[in-house]
Amino acid sequence: MTQTHEPMRAVAFRKHAKLMEPDCLTDVDTSQPVPGPHDLRVAVRAVSVNPLDTKIRAGMVAVPDEVRSLGWDAAGIVDAVGDAVTLFRPGDAVYYAGSFNRSGSNAQFHLVDARIAGRMPASLSFAHAAALPLTSLTAWQLLFDRLGVRPGKQAGAGSLLVLGGAGGVGSMLVQLARRLTGLTVIATASREKSRDWCLSLGAHHVIDHRQALAEQVEALKVPPVNFVAALSHSAEHLSQLADLIAPQGHLAIIDDHDTLDVVPFKAKSVSVHWEMVFTRPLYGTPDMIAQHQILDEVAALVDAGVLRSTATQVLVPLNAASLIDAHRLVESGGLTGKVVVACTHADTVAQAPEARQ
C-alpha cells in the first residue's frame, strides 16, 4: 500500500493469536494510506466486530500478508477521494464492509473502494450505522441474489426458515424477509432472550434449534418451507433441513466447513447456494457497484423506519483494549445482534448530517 508521511493510529493484529496473548491486538503508529483511483479514504468513527475478525486473528481464515489490521464493518467521514471517484466527496458520511484482501478498518483512516460503500443512514449514529454493512449485504445478497426471492408481498410465497436468527446476519435477514417479502418467516433460537429478539425483529414464529426441527415446523401449520437460510452450525442440521425443506426448494449457506454433504437434498431437487459477502470486491465483478446500491437502499429503509440497526453493545474508545473486549464477546457465542466499538461517546449519538462535517 502506498503511504504518506502523515501519521495515524491503528490496531494491528498477530495471526494465530489467542485473546489471552498480550500482542494479539496492539495499538500502533503508522502512516495514512493514499487513495487509489477508485478509493475513499475514510476517517473512521466506529467499527463492528464480526466472527470473521476473530477467525482471521486466530488463523482460521487466511488473508494476504499486507493485511495488518482487522475490521470489516465501518462508518465514518470521507477524508479524501481517488481521481476516478464520482459517488462521494470529502465530508460525506459513509458506511461499508470493505474486503478482506485489504487492511481492515481498525484504524484512524481506512481505504475502501467507493463502489462498495454506501451513504450512511442519516437517522443513525456512527456506532449504530457501523453494525449494518456486512450483515445487511450478506442477508440481502443471500435472500434476493442467491435464493432468488422476489421482493413484494406476493400471495403464496411460502416460508423461509432462518437457522440462527438472533445473530448478526439473521437479525437483518429476518427484517428484510418480513418487511420486503410475502414469506412466512420462521427463525430458530435456543434462549428466551434470543427468541424475544427474533420476534421483535419481525419473525412470525421462532423454534428451538436444539429440538427436532421438522416436527416443530409441522406443528406451526405454515406454508411449505421452500427457502432455508443456514447461517450457523449448518452441518449439524443438514439432515433435518433435508427432511423439512419442500421439494424443489432452495438452501443457502454462509458458514465455513471443511466438507459438507449435500447429497441428501438430491431426491428433492433442492438447489444449494453459497453466499460470501466479499465475492464481488475480491474478484472485481462487473456488478460490484451492486454493493453500493444495496447499502444505499438499506440506508433509505432505515431512515424510513422499515429496518433498524442491530447494534446491541457499544464499547468506547476505538483501541486495542476495547477491541479485545469486543472479540471476547463475539467468541463467547450466543450473542444477539452486533458488538460495536466507537471512537468517542459522541459517535454513539445520532447527529444532524451537517453536524458530521
Consecutive 10-residue averages of pLDDT for the chain (357 residues): 72 95 96 97 98 95 94 98 98 97 97 98 98 98 97 93 96 98 97 96 97 97 98 95 98 94 97 97 97 98 98 98 97 91 96 63
In this prediction, residue 315 carries a pLDDT of 98
Q: What is the pLDDT of residue 351?
A: 75
pLDDT reported for residue 4: 52
3-state secondary structure (DSSP) of residue 89 = coil
Residues whose CB is less than 8 angstroms from the CB of residue 345 and which lie 6 or more positions away in sequence, other chains included:
316
> What separation in angstroms does the CA of 199 have from each of 180, 196, 207, 227, 228?
16, 5, 11, 19, 18
Say what the alpha-carbon torsion angle 303, 305, 311, 316 is, to the nearest 10 degrees. Answer: 50
Give the per-residue pLDDT at 336. Answer: 92
One-letter amino acid for residue 165 of the chain? G
Contact (CB, 8 A) for 70 and 341: no
CA distance 60 to 100: 13
Query: Do 143 and 112 fall into the same domain?
Result: no
Q: What is the pLDDT of residue 333?
A: 82
pLDDT at site 105 = 98
Which residue shows C-alpha cell 434476493? 144
Contact (CB, 8 A) for 19 and 60? no
Say yes or no: 308 and 258 in one domain: no
Distance (Å, whole) CA 27 – CA 30: 10
Domain termination residue (choose one: 213, 239, 274): 274
Nearest to 149 by CA among 238, 296, 251: 251
pLDDT of residue 90: 98
β-pair type (205-207, 225-230): unpaired
Count of alpha carbons within 13 Å of 64, Cβ hemisphere only? 10
The CATH number for 43's domain is: 3.90.180.10
User: Domain check: are 293 and 233 in the same one?
Assistant: no
Whether residues 161 and 41 share a domain: the answer is no
The CATH number given to whatever domain includes residue 176 is: 3.40.50.720
Residue 148 and residue 255 share a domain: yes
Q: Are the CB atoms for 254 and 169 separated by under 8 Å?
A: yes
Domain boundary among 223, 255, 274: 274
- How far lies 148's CA from each of 82, 283, 288, 332, in Å? 35, 22, 18, 33
**Burial class (CB within 10 angstroms; exposed 0-12, middle 13-18, buried 19+) of 179:** middle
47 & 172 share domain: no
Q: Report yes or no on 81 lying in a domain.
A: yes
Q: Which domain holds residue 52?
A: 3-132+285-356
Q: In the chain, how many domains are there?
A: 2
Looking at residue 342, what is its pLDDT?
Answer: 98
Distance CA 211, CA 189 (A): 10
User: Does residue 242 share a domain with residue 298?
Assistant: no
**Contact call for residues 139 and 172 (beta carbons, < 8 A):** yes
Domain membership flag for residue 76:
yes
Q: Which residues contact 106 (CB under 8 A, 6 or more apart)?
A: 10, 11, 13, 25, 47, 69, 70, 71, 318, 323
Domain assignment present for 149: yes
No. of helices (H) and no. of strands (E), the chain: 10, 15
31 and 109 co-located in one domain? yes
Residue 217 sits in the same domain as residue 329: no
Same domain (yes/no): 110, 200: no
pLDDT of residue 133: 98
**End-of-domain residue from the set 232, 250, 274:** 274
Q: Is residue 50 part of a domain?
A: yes
**Predicted pLDDT of residue 167:** 93
Q: What DSSP character marks residue 199?
A: H
In a domain, 279, yes or no: no
In a domain, 280, yes or no: no
| Whether residue 297 sits in one domain with residue 181 | no
What was the pLDDT predicted at 83? Answer: 97
Does 34 map to a domain? yes
- 22 part of a folded domain: yes
Examine the domain organization and report whether 31 and 64 are in the same domain. Answer: yes
